């Protein structure tokens, strides 16, 4: 395979991402544009951005690899995630859009804090510190994963690959903020979708041409690869389904990099078009990921690869022409970069909006906020890069429970706020703190072997929120739509 062609296509992709960022540096962006797109982004673009950000490289490497070694029963992890995506778009997106307009906020933390003014200070600081800290490690993991993926696929030096990709992500995020992140995500989401359309078709064509029976091949693998239930029944099957469906809880509004896309929606017309795009994209990509894993198991017996998570890159290299391999390798890198850039924007808005502007009350002009935000992007990105290069094992240890510690914890808070009128500020604080602590406890003790933290954290956090809301109800009325925020305004 001609590596020069692959590298040329990857470089072209990198330059196009930088080009998007450079385009927005020439725009006169205010803080509303930089944080949340200023109500200027179409719904379909926000939908593509949310989906590209939500899936990351996990779908290309982790999920496909899991299905490759598991067989048909691997589908249930995708089912749980799919229902979570549907629920978020059908039942949460409109609420986020309306609440953002009602309270004039730009971040999930800001919304929760303004919603409960008597507790806004502690909510803002606790939420910002938890999200900011863990997202630094999330970003580090994305950078490290990008370097390793590039090395595994093309043999490019891990350290230099990590540095180059990190610099590009930092650059286009810094230049255009939310606007450039969303539009680069649009390009990246098309690459991701194309991968999961083309590769399964080509793989099936090869299987069909060689007269291979898919179900007979799965049966020969053993380990119940040909069973939709993994050969389990009764309680065992229940645990299997619950463990995989538990991914559902992390999609319920608690991931700030995803909820920001809902908050950026302009109106109900844009929301309706976004729903169709998001659900359609997810269905195509998830079906494609499942088929890649199954067809990979048929074409390449287990033991063929040293790392089962590299089955998709292996299939691309074996089945596709060189130029197309370069395009789809860019798609894998795109999945990583879209997530990293979105997480970087979460840190940026937490620092500039939630802490400097709102918590510390420092008055800045709109241009001043954009300047502080760009500095925050560079600082956060460089810190993530340093951690990626020096503390790989620590990063993955912490990231292993960050999904529960952030996603499920804040999902519990969002569900309570949206659907239970008795939720109080004290209840929200209890939800966040309890969820964060339980995620840590669950992952450093044998409890994780009995029931996944992805489910336990959500329920523990929501129960704590209900109890404390009943014990310590709010005494004052929440901010009304026509009631101005007590926080200092941008001048």
Tokens 């990590």 locate to 162
Residue 405 has pLDDT above 90, yes or no: no
Residue 430 CB contacts under 8 Å (≥ 6 apart), including other chains: 464, 465, 467, 468, 469
pLDDT at 393 over 90: no
Closest to 106 in 3D by CA, of 348, 272, 270:
348
Q: How confident is the model at residue 222 (pLDDT cuts 50, 70, 90)?
A: confident
Can you tell me the distance from the alpha carbon of 159 to that of 220, in angstroms, rounded to the nearest whole number?
41
223 torsion bin: left (phi>0), alpha (psi -120 to 50), beta (else)? left
Please check the confidence at residue 395 and state whether its pLDDT lies above 90: no
Is residue 117 within 8 Å of residue 359, measured between CB atoms? no
* CA dihedral for 250, 255, 259, 261, sign (positive or negative): negative
Can you give the pLDDT at residue 1?
A: 54
DSSP string, 314-377: HHHHHHS-HHHHHHHHHHHHHHHHHHHHHHHHHHHHIIIIIIIIIIS-----HHHHHHHHHHHH
Interacting residues of 480 by C-beta distance below 8 A, sequence separation 6+: none
Q: Is pLDDT of 491 > 60?
A: no
Most confident of 147-156, 210-219, 328-337, 397-406: 210-219
How far apart CA 81 and CA 246 sit, in angstroms, is 8
For residues 60-70, one letter each, b for 16 or more C-beta atoms within 10 angstroms of the residue's C-beta and e for the rest, the string is bbbbbbbbbbb
Structure tokens at 306: 């040293």
Check residue 365 and give its pLDDT: 80
Distance CA 211, CA 225 (A): 20
What's the whole-number average pLDDT of the chain? 85
pLDDT over 70 (residue 397): no
Is 124 within 8 Å of 116 (Cβ atoms)? no
pLDDT score for 392:
61
Q: Which of 366, 14, 338 is nearest to 173 (CA)?
A: 338
Look at 148 and 99; give whichever has higher pLDDT. 99
Q: How far is CA 307 from CA 139, 149, 150, 311, 313, in A?
A: 23, 11, 14, 8, 11
pLDDT band (50, 70, 90) for residue 100: very high
Q: Give 425's pLDDT tier (boundaries 50, 70, 90).
A: very high
Residue 247 near residue 455 (C-beta atoms within 8 A): no
State the Cα–Cα distance between residues 228 and 205, nearest whole angstrom.
24
Instruction: Using DSSP, state whether 10 is helix, strand or coil.
Output: helix
Give the model's confidence band at 367: pLDDT under 50 very low, under 70 low, under 90 confident, else very high: confident
Residue 480 has pLDDT above 80, yes or no: no
| Token code pair at residue 48 | 């593509």
Q: Which residue has the higher pLDDT, 48 or 446?
A: 48
Percent of the residues in the chain that have a pLDDT greater than 90, as a whole number: 38
Other CB atoms closer than 10 Å to residue 232's CB: what's the count? 15
Question: Are 158 and 390 in contact, with CB atoms under 8 Å apart?
Answer: no
pLDDT digits (tens, 9 = 90+) for 71-84: 999 999 899 999 99
Model confidence at 442, in pLDDT bands (50, 70, 90)?
A: confident
Q: What is the pLDDT of residue 145?
A: 77
Q: Are 263 and 106 in contact (CB under 8 A)?
A: yes
* Mean pLDDT for the stretch of residues 273-298: 96
| Of 338 and 200, more confident | 200
pLDDT top residue among 274 and 352? 274
Query: What does the chain come to in residues?
Result: 491
Helix (H) or strand (E) holding 411: helix 409-419
Write the pLDDT tens digit of every residue in 179-207. Answer: 888 898 898 899 889 999 999 999 999 99
pLDDT in the model for residue 334: 82
Structural domains of the chain, ranges and CATH numbers in brackets: 3-393 (1.20.1730.10)
Give tens-digit pLDDT for 301-328.
888 888 888 899 889 989 999 888 888 8
477 pLDDT more than 80: no
3-state secondary structure at position 254? coil
């Amino acid at each position: 395979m001609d590596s020069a062609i692959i590298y040329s296509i990857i470089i072209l992709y990198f330059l196009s991402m930088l080009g998007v960022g450079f385009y927005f540096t020439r725009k006169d962006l205010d803080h509303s544009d930089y944080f949340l797109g200023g109500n200027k982004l179409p719904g379909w673009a926000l939908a593509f951005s949310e989906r590209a950000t939500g899936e990351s490289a996990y779908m290309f490497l982790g999920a496909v690899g899991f299905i490759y070694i598991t067989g048909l029963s691997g589908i249930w992890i995708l089912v749980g995630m799919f229902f979570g995506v549907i629920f978020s778009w059908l039942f949460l997106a409109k609420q986020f859009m309306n609440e953002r307009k009602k309270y004039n906020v730009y971040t999930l933390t800001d919304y929760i804090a303004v919603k409960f003014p008597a507790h806004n200070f502690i909510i803002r600081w606790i939420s910002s510190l938890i999200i900011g800290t863990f997202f630094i490690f999330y970003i580090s993991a994305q950078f490290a994963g990008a370097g390793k993926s590039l090395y595994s696929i093309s043999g490019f030096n891990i350290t230099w690959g990590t540095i180059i990709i990190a610099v590009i992500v930092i650059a286009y995020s810094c230049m255009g903020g939310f606007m450039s992140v969303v539009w680069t995500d649009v390009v990246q989401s098309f690459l991701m979708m194309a991968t999961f359309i083309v590769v399964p078709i080509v793989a099936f064509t090869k299987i069909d041409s060689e007269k291979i029976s898919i179900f007979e091949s799965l049966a020969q693998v053993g380990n119940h690869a040909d069973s939709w239930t993994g050969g389990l029944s009764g309680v065992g099957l229940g645990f299997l389904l619950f463990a995989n469906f538990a991914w559902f809880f992390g999609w319920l509004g608690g991931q700030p990099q995803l909820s920001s896309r809902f908050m950026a929606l302009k109106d109900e017309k844009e929301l309706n078009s976004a729903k169709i795009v998001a659900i359609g994209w997810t269905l195509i990509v998830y079906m494609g990921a499942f088929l890649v894993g199954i067809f990979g198991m048929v074409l390449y017996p287990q033991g063929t690869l040293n790392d089962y998570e590299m089955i998709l890159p292996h299939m691309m290299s074996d089945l596709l022409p060189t130029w197309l391999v370069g395009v789809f390798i860019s798609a894998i890198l795109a999945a990583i970069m879209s997530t990293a850039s979105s997480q970087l924007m979460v840190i940026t808005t937490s620092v500039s909006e939630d802490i400097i502007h709102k918590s510390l009350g420092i008055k800045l002009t709109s241009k001043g906020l954009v300047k502080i935000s760009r500095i925050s992007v560079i600082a956060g990105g460089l810190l993530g890069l340093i951690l990626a290069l020096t503390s790989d094992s620590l990063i993955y240890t912490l990231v292993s429970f960050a999904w529960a510690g952030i996603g499920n914890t804040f999902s519990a808070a969002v569900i309570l706020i949206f659907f239970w009128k008795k939720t109080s500020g004290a209840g929200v604080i209890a939800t966040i703190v309890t969820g964060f602590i339980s995620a840590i406890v669950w992952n450093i003790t044998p409890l994780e072997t009995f029931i996944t933290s992805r489910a336990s954290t959500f329920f523990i956090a929501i129960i704590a929120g209900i109890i404390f809301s009943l014990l310590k109800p709010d005494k004052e009325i929440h901010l009304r739509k026509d009631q101005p925020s007590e926080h200092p305004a941008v001048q």
